[in-house]
Structure 1
Amino acid sequence: MKKTLFFIIFLAIIVPVGWILFCKYEGGIPNAEISLPSPYLKQSYAINMTATDDGAGLKHVTVSLVQKDNEKVLLDKSYPPSSILSLFSDKKILSDNFVIPVETRKYGMNDGQAVIRIVITDYAWRNWTKGNRFYDERPVIIDTVAPRLQVLTSQHNVSKGGVGLVIYKLDEENIQSGVRVGENFFPGYSGVFSDPMVITALFALDHTQGPDTRLVVEARDPAGNETKRGFYHYIKDKNFRPDTLRISDGFLEFKMPDFDLGPKEAQFLTESNPLLAKFLYINETLRRQNVETVLKVPADTRAELMWDGRFSRLSGSANRARFADKRTYKYNGQVISHSTHLGIDLASTANAPVGAANHGRVIMAENVGIFGNTVIIDHGLGLASLYCHLSQMNVTQGDMVKQDDIIGRTGITGLAGGDHLHFSMMLHNVFVNPVEWWDAAWIKNNITSKIESVKAQIQ
């Protein structure tokens, strides 16, 4: 009887107590998963953190920004005590998520090195009931000073659809900078001058941007501090001519079989005029897609001027269409579509040899829908030339070419109705007027003389 009573007492008291002691003295250290958006404490900076403890539960979480003896507590949260009964219930807090804002400018700290300190304790009875402790420090950099820049060029005359050049000097490295033209951004490059702090930025207005377009030089450091500087400029307005193209049944029967649109072909067969329906899709939807494709290519550029002097045009050729012509397409006397011609069509003899307009590096040589066989050459600083409708391509991506090296021959690939070269100039993601680049005086006045003048200044 006594043995039975002892056994009952053992089960009722000793085992639960032992279980409690075992659980309360657990040695599992809490953990923190922390995400810092940048090592620099930027404006609108926020730390994302998850604190967890799978044992006795969270007791206290502290997150601080520390610089030498200066500590700013960003988060200080305590959790309700975990009772013995919590071993058998779900009242203890095992996890918590935080989004912690950091507003460096308000803390009275100096620019320079600092740390994000994270301390988490749990309700275990270890360490004289202080609990298990998680401790971590993440290095960060406080930077509240915006970069400084000085515009070194004085005159900036640019036409609607044309290109300009700004040269400026920064006061620190690792700065993202360039020229903002309306909503478009043109990056600046270090490398043209011996001083790496002197930056060269070509910028462009597209065919829709006139004298009211806002131009500004921008510089942003890794901490998000930003400087903007206006600069003297004059924007010349320009009107582009209208052009009407008449689409014939003969043209549709000649060109539409060249385009295989896969599953979409079936949908045109249900139309009263399948060839016309296919043309409209090609001239509008496919054109938009192909333009987006080629405008991404000049991003593959080098931070140097690879070209020299005026750009060449197709030898012995005549203009068949101009830059930014506003095209209206008519079929049987009815307006059916519109587009803007963002290049110049040049025609000479069939299969005429096409030379590179200037020195550079081939960054595309492939068939691109309405453009047909297409070659794009990078000339540096985001400037590129484009050659379309080629009957053959003599270069491949990565080739280095010299001015007038034969890169292909004119043709009728793509949406060309007759043998010719469609030639475009691009600056980053904007088509610009090629006529400027065929003009030696324009290049000297707007590009090379500015570079030479700044070189003389900094020497």
Structure 2
Amino acid sequence: MKRFVFFVLFFVVFIPIVWVLVHKFESKKPIVDITIPSIYLKKSYEMSLNITDRQTGLRKIMVSIMQQGKEKVLLDKQYASSTFLGLFPEVKKTQETFTIPVLFWKYGMTDGEAVIRIMVSDYSWRGWNKGNVFYVEKKVVIDSKPPKVRVLTKRHNVERGGSGLVIYRVFEENLKSGVKVGDNFFPGHAGLFEDKQIYAAFFALSHMQGTGTQLSVIAEDMAGNITKRGFYHYIRDKNFKTDVLNISDRFLEQKVYDFDVDDKNGFFQEQEPSLLKKFLYINGEVRKNNVETILKIPQVTQNEKYWDGMFSRLNGSARRAGFADRRTYKYKGNEIDRAVHLGVDLASTSNAQVKAANSGKVILTKFIGIFGNTVMIDHGFGLCSLYAHLNHMSVNEGDMVKKGDDIGSTGLTGLAGGDHLHFSMIVHNVFVNPVEWWDDSWIKNNITSKIDFVKQID
């Protein structure tokens, strides 16, 4: 009988008490996942909290921001315990998610450092029933002043499809700055001058941007404050040549039949006329994808001016097609497609030696669709040259080349209809007119004279 009473007491009284004590004296702090977008407070600043306590449940959550002894409570939430001493089944809050705006300008706080405090406690009996406490302080910076920018170069004459250079000074670190041309952004880079606060931004107008295009220097600090500074400029409009290319059955058989379009190869065999449909796909979708691939590469550039003087062109060559030529494609007298030629075609003898137009770093040696075997050279600060349709390439990615070094030979790889060199110049992510870069006077008036002027005042 005594043994029976002992077992009853053990299972009915002792074990539940032990379970309650172990459960209520648990030592795990609440788990708090904090997402703060930046240490710099912006006017649209919001922080988020994801809070979990699956043992004894949430007791109290408090979030505040403090600066120079002044504290503003952003969130103060208390959760009531639903049972006496937690001895009976309870409904407890184990998880909460908050999005908390930090409207610092409404709290009378000024520019400078501040601290965001986060405290979360649970219903554990530890700490004389104060619970397990999660506490953290996050240092933040209030910055409401837009950055200061001063444009150093005086005149900027640029034409549709052409290039330009703006040099400017910034007065604080960690800025995102550059030139805005319409909706396109050209990043500025330090490194052209000893003074690291002086930035240079090569920019360009695409062949579709003419007079009326908005140009400005933009600077944005870590807090999201933006300064937009206009500068004197004059945009010359330009008309581009129109051209008609007749697509023959011979061209389709020689160039299109074996052109690899990956998983689409079998698709066009079922179309009528199959080669013409395949050509239209190549001239449209493949061309678009190839151009996008190429224009991503110059955006990773070296902050060093590798080049010097005017760029050279293929020796003894004749121009077969110009920059931004508006091409109309016809088949058996009917218009079938249109495209814009984003470079200059130069023809010499077959397999003519191709030399680097200026010094730089080789950043691409690859077969790229319609461009065929392609070499790209980074000349620094987002300025690149491109050589396409090559028969062979004699350089590798990472090679440093000097002006006049051999990089390959002309050919008809890709969608080329005959042996020639397709030559392009690119500024950041825009194809520009190479003719400017072949002109020593243009380079002196628009590029080097600006650099020399700023060096004198640096």
Q: Which moved more, 1:53-62 or 1:252-261?
A: 252-261
- Equivalent residue number for residue 308 of structure 2: 308
- Equivalent residue number for residue 264 of structure 1: 264
AA partner of residue 441 (structure 1): S
Over aligned residues, Cα RMSD in angstroms? 2.0
| Cα distance, 1:373 vs structure 2 | 0.6
Deviation per residue, 1:244-294 (Å, 9 max, x gap): 000001111111234122331221122222111111111111111111111
Confirm or deny: 8 A CA contact 2:83 2:89 kept in the other structure. Answer: no
- The CA distance in 2 between the partners of 1:148 and 1:253, in whole Å, is 61
Instruction: Classify 1:87/1:443 alpha carbon distance in 2 versus 1 (closer, same or farther; 3 Å).
Output: farther
Deviation per residue, 1:393-448 (Å, 9 max, x gap): 11111111111111111111111111111000000110000011011111111111
- The CA distance in 2 between the partners of 1:258 and 1:6, in whole Å, is 91
- The CA distance in 2 between the partners of 1:448 and 1:389, in whole Å, is 32
Instruction: Classify 1:373/1:14 alpha carbon distance in 2 versus 1 (closer, same or farther; 3 Å).
Output: closer
- The CA distance in 2 between the partners of 1:171 and 1:109, in whole Å, is 24
| Cα distance, 1:236 vs structure 2 | 0.8
Equivalent position SS for 1:403: coil
| Cα distance, 1:317 vs structure 2 | 0.8
Q: Which moved more, 1:388-397 or 1:133-142?
A: 133-142
Q: Superposition pairs for residues 407-446 of structure 1, below 5 Å?
A: 407-446=407-446
| Cα distance, 1:83 vs structure 2 | 1.3
- Equivalent residue number for residue 122 of structure 2: 122
- Equivalent residue number for residue 236 of structure 1: 236
- The CA distance in 1 between the partners of 2:431 and 2:22, in whole Å, is 73
- The CA distance in 2 between the partners of 1:129 and 1:290, in whole Å, is 67
Instruction: Classify 1:118/1:349 alpha carbon distance in 2 versus 1 (closer, same or farther; 3 Å).
Output: same
- Equivalent residue number for residue 107 of structure 2: 107
Confirm or deny: 8 A CA contact 1:300 1:363 kept in the other structure. Answer: no
AA partner of residue 297 (structure 2): V
- Equivalent residue number for residue 44 of structure 2: 44
Instruction: Classify 1:421/1:128 alpha carbon distance in 2 versus 1 (closer, same or farther; 3 Å).
Output: same
- The CA distance in 2 between the partners of 1:333 and 1:424, in whole Å, is 30
Uncovered stretches (5+) of structure 2, i.e. residues with no partner: none
- The CA distance in 1 between the partners of 2:156 and 2:319, in whole Å, is 29
Equivalent position SS for 1:158: strand
- The CA distance in 2 between the partners of 1:25 and 1:262, in whole Å, is 64
Confirm or deny: 8 A CA contact 2:153 2:450 kept in the other structure. Answer: yes
- Equivalent residue number for residue 349 of structure 2: 349
Instruction: Classify 1:14/1:263 alpha carbon distance in 2 versus 1 (closer, same or farther; 3 Å).
Output: closer
- The CA distance in 2 between the partners of 1:357 and 1:87, in whole Å, is 84
- The CA distance in 2 between the partners of 1:232 and 1:179, in whole Å, is 13
Q: Superposition pairs for residues 192-211 of structure 1, below 5 Å?
A: 192-211=192-211
Confirm or deny: 8 A CA contact 1:86 1:92 kept in the other structure. Answer: no
- The CA distance in 2 between the partners of 1:66 and 1:294, in whole Å, is 50
| Cα distance, 1:107 vs structure 2 | 2.5
- The CA distance in 1 between the partners of 2:306 and 2:424, in whole Å, is 18
Confirm or deny: 8 A CA contact 1:56 1:82 kept in the other structure. Answer: no
- The CA distance in 1 between the partners of 2:306 and 2:80, in whole Å, is 68
Q: Superposition pairs for residues 34-433 of structure 1, below 5 Å?
A: 34-84=34-84, 88-89=88-89, 91-433=91-433
Instruction: Classify 1:395/1:12 alpha carbon distance in 2 versus 1 (closer, same or farther; 3 Å).
Output: closer
| Cα distance, 1:52 vs structure 2 | 1.9
AA partner of residue 79 (structure 1): Y
| Cα distance, 1:360 vs structure 2 | 0.6
Confirm or deny: 8 A CA contact 2:26 2:124 kept in the other structure. Answer: yes
Deviation per residue, 1:336-358 (Å, 9 max, x gap): 11110010001111111111111
| Cα distance, 1:381 vs structure 2 | 0.7
Confirm or deny: 8 A CA contact 2:83 2:90 kept in the other structure. Answer: no
Equivalent position SS for 2:126: coil
| Cα distance, 1:2 vs structure 2 | 9.2
Tell me the matched-pair count: 458
AA partner of residue 368 (structure 2): V
| Cα distance, 1:94 vs structure 2 | 1.1
TM superposition score normalised by structure 2: 0.95
Instruction: Classify 1:90/1:245 alpha carbon distance in 2 versus 1 (closer, same or farther; 3 Å).
Output: farther
Confirm or deny: 8 A CA contact 1:351 1:411 kept in the other structure. Answer: yes
| Cα distance, 1:140 vs structure 2 | 2.2
Equivalent position SS for 2:436: helix
Confirm or deny: 8 A CA contact 2:360 2:377 kept in the other structure. Answer: yes
- The CA distance in 2 between the partners of 1:14 and 1:369, in whole Å, is 79
- The CA distance in 1 between the partners of 2:277 and 2:423, in whole Å, is 28
Uncovered stretches (5+) of structure 1, i.e. residues with no partner: none
- The CA distance in 1 between the partners of 2:155 and 2:251, in whole Å, is 48
Instruction: Classify 1:4/1:368 alpha carbon distance in 2 versus 1 (closer, same or farther; 3 Å).
Output: closer
Confirm or deny: 8 A CA contact 2:82 2:90 kept in the other structure. Answer: no
Confirm or deny: 8 A CA contact 1:28 1:54 kept in the other structure. Answer: no
Confirm or deny: 8 A CA contact 1:24 1:124 kept in the other structure. Answer: yes
- The CA distance in 2 between the partners of 1:292 and 1:320, in whole Å, is 24
Q: Which moved more, 1:199-208 or 1:272-281?
A: 272-281
AA partner of residue 429 (structure 1): N
| Cα distance, 1:180 vs structure 2 | 0.7
AA partner of residue 65 (structure 1): I
